[in-house]
Structure 1
Amino acid sequence: MKAVQVTGYGDVDKLEVVDIPIPEPKEHEVLVKVKACAINNTEIWMREGAYGKGTKSGWRPEGVQFPRIPGSDITGEIVKVGGSALESMLGRDVVLFPFTSSGENGSEHISEDMSFIGSEYDGGYAEYVVWPAELCFDMPLSSYSESAVFSVSGLTAWHMVSQIGIQPGETVLVTGANGGVGSLNVQIASNVFGAKVIAVIGDLDGEERLKELGAAHVVSYRSEHLAEDILQANGGPVDSVLDVVGDALFHTSLQVLKKGGKFCTSGSAGGQQTTLDFRTLYLKHITMYGSVLGTRAEFKEMLKAIGDGKIKPVIDKSFPLEEAREAQVYFKNKGKLGKILLLPEE
């Protein structure tokens, strides 16, 4: 089969198109013919060595074992099973839950042995992938491409919104609202949980599209008076912040939060380190959350909401598998709205 492997930590020249044997599913696994794989920051940061306590690591402290096939947002068709009891799964169109874990229900995502497809396992930058049968779920939509945009970004966004306990009518500030997680934060917070959303983006040309997704107000982080713009749009401080940017908007986020407000982060595309005046934290009674991925129960809830039409796929552009380098470079460009896809059959 054709696949794209990461051969080591570094730039996109570490992505190589190779021909390798199709993997064989083990007893409780299935072989999935990959139809679409969406790109996440996850595989880019894995390649760049941004995770872990050291400077070169994956999701696990021991680091990534190269070569590794990245890709975690995967849809496809089950074409082979590893055990006779699984034969009923043949031909099913599925979306893959993106990690394994021995954690108990409700805490799978914080288990010490959480292992990620595309980092600890070979992932979806390939024509085929093997995965545990129990972690393959029916696609929420009929389109492979549209169903592929939710797994990691959607689960992360769903858990963020759930974690801070958003209530109907509350105001939520969403940073990076044009990205994969951010655009889903907008939809989930507004269309599922009933919040009023203020979306932060760079280019206001995307304002109408974000309002279509559920944003009540859209502001630009390029404004010299961003905090004032947010406060004016809401008529006062906001209840919560869902952040994927990090340092670049951290101080503004805390500035516009109400007393007793909540700040939840799942990314740091705008800077991985920041400074914090602890007086801001305790004098405003701010609660802070770190968040990534979520639980199987949340994944199922998310798939149902997608199937019910409450959350819609947002796709910016698709690339053939062989153009994975170009796709990752494009992914890092600012100003896009929605997900970038790799399509093995294109």
Structure 2
Amino acid sequence: MQAVVTAGNGGYHQLQCREVRLPELEPGEVLLQVLAAGVNNTEINTRVGWYSSSVTTGTEDAATVEEQLTTEKADGGWNESTPFPFIQGTDCCGRIVAVAPGGDESTIGSRVLVRACMRRSDFTSMDNIWMGSDFDGAFAQFVKVPAGEVFAVDCDWSDAELATIPCAYGTAENMVHRSKVSKGEHVLVAGASGGVGSAVVQLAKRRGATVTAIAGRAKREQVLALGADRVLDRDDNVVDCLGENAVDVVIDNVAGPAFGDHLKALKRGGRYVSSGAIGGPLVTLDMRTLYLKDLTLFGSTAWDEPVFPNLISYIERGELRPLVAKTFPLEQIAEAQRAFLEKKHVGNFVLIPPPLR
């Protein structure tokens, strides 16, 4: 099959389009023909080794990312060392084309989404692995996954639209779920024009929250169209605009210099939840703000059990809006990642594998 193999930490030259062996199924697995695969920060971060503790800058600026490509980073992977060379690709819309012996053959032909965040034990443990970061993913014509991690979806969305869902919306729903966003609460969403942030806006509004979003000025109207009640410019001071003790929940995958002000904007007893740090992983925390205001801080990587089934039900009930910024042929992955890092888009980029011969 055709695949993009990431050979190691480094620049775009590490993304190698080539023929590889078709995956061989083991008990309990299914083989999917990949119909569309989304592009995410995590694939770029893993390729450049950004998760290494030696990296202290954010990922917003493409030039900054490229400057970090000096050496192989043993701790640069999502959980452990990255299994180079391997196939990345966290988001997968696919069709089941084969099942391992003893599997449910009636599922063959089903169009499915893959739950990319998989709990290795069960949902009583936070131990997790990610498709496309810890093992071969969807940047290929075929991918194999555990049968229990595929979810059939009945809707009229295109393959590309469905491929925007798993990582971005799974991460967003996990943050909304874990921080217990509820009707009538005021939620501040940082990075609201990106894949995760735009999903958070929709999912928080779905729960009846008032949403203040932060995005670049050029993207204001698009973010308002997603349902945000107010959009602040990314250069605005949140406390100056909203005041202290103004919001119930901050949902943030940006972090960076604004972190302290985000905590100041929280009401007493407020909740802060983060799934990333594209604006910079090192932040300044005034512990007095944390304990005097009785704040709760959540990290959000391992998806909770209801998250993915919930997303499937939202799609099937027409409660979500897919955001495909642009599609690219799989072999143009480098061009897609370059455009992704420019951050001029709203929503998600999607790769389309070559047709089968």
TM-score by length of 1: 0.92
| Map of 1:338 onto structure 2 | 347
1:132 to 140, 146, 154: 146
- CA spacing shift, 1:175–1:130, aligned 2, 3 Å: same
| Map of 1:257 onto structure 2 | 266
SS at match of 1:9: coil
Q: Aligned Cα RMSD in Å?
A: 1.8
Cα displacement string for residues 82-130 of structure 1 (whole angstroms, at most 9, x for unaligned residues): 124321111111111113333333x45x11xx22111221101111111
Cα displacement string for residues 18-64 of structure 1 (whole angstroms, at most 9, x for unaligned residues): 11121122222111110100011111111111225675332333x01
| Map of 2:66 onto structure 1 | none
SS at match of 1:332: helix
Structure 2, unpaired ranges of 5+: 55-72
* Contact kept? 1:152, 1:293, Cα under 8 Å: no
Cα displacement string for residues 274-310 of structure 1 (whole angstroms, at most 9, x for unaligned residues): 1111112122222111112413422101110121111
For 2:3 and 2:221, the matched residues in 1 are separated by: 38
SS at match of 1:16: strand
Aligned pairs (5 A) from 1:29-44: 29-44=29-44
| Map of 1:73 onto structure 2 | 91
Answer yes or no: is 1:228 the counterpart of 2:229: no
| Map of 1:324 onto structure 2 | 333
| Map of 2:103 onto structure 1 | 85
Q: Which moved more, 1:51-60 or 1:68-77?
A: 51-60
Q: Which moved more, 1:20-29 or 1:237-246?
A: 20-29
How far is 1:222 from its partner?
A: 1.9
Answer yes or no: is 1:152 the counterpart of 2:167: yes
Answer yes or no: is 1:168 the counterpart of 2:187: no
- Paired amino acid for 1:212: A
% identity of equivalent residues: 36
Answer yes or no: is 1:278 the counterpart of 2:287: yes
SS at match of 1:260: strand
SS at match of 1:165: coil
Answer yes or no: is 1:177 the counterpart of 2:208: no
TM-score by length of 2: 0.89
For 1:103 and 1:323, the matched residues in 2 are separated by: 36
For 2:341 and 2:109, the matched residues in 1 are separated by: 35
| Map of 1:59 onto structure 2 | 78
For 1:280 and 1:293, the matched residues in 2 are separated by: 27
Answer yes or no: is 1:312 the counterpart of 2:324: no
How far is 1:166 from its partner?
A: 1.4
What stretches of structure 1 move > 3 A for 4+ residues in a row? 52-56
How far is 1:10 from its partner?
A: 1.4
For 1:58 and 1:178, the matched residues in 2 are separated by: 26
Answer yes or no: is 1:10 the counterpart of 2:28: no
Answer yes or no: is 1:248 the counterpart of 2:248: no
- CA spacing shift, 1:160–1:293, aligned 2, 3 Å: same
How far is 1:202 from its partner?
A: 1.2
Structure 1, unpaired ranges of 5+: none
* Contact kept? 2:23, 2:142, Cα under 8 Å: yes
2:219 to 192, 206, 214: 206
For 1:32 and 1:73, the matched residues in 2 are separated by: 13
* Contact kept? 1:219, 1:230, Cα under 8 Å: no
Cα displacement string for residues 116-162 of structure 1 (whole angstroms, at most 9, x for unaligned residues): 11122110111111111121111253321111111111111111111
| Map of 2:59 onto structure 1 | none
- Paired amino acid for 1:162: H
* Contact kept? 1:140, 1:304, Cα under 8 Å: no
Q: Which moved more, 1:69-78 or 1:209-218?
A: 209-218
- Paired amino acid for 2:16: E
Aligned pairs (5 A) from 1:187-202: 187-191=202-206, 193-202=207-216
Q: How many pairs were matched up?
A: 335
SS at match of 1:342: strand
* Contact kept? 2:245, 2:264, Cα under 8 Å: no
SS at match of 1:123: coil
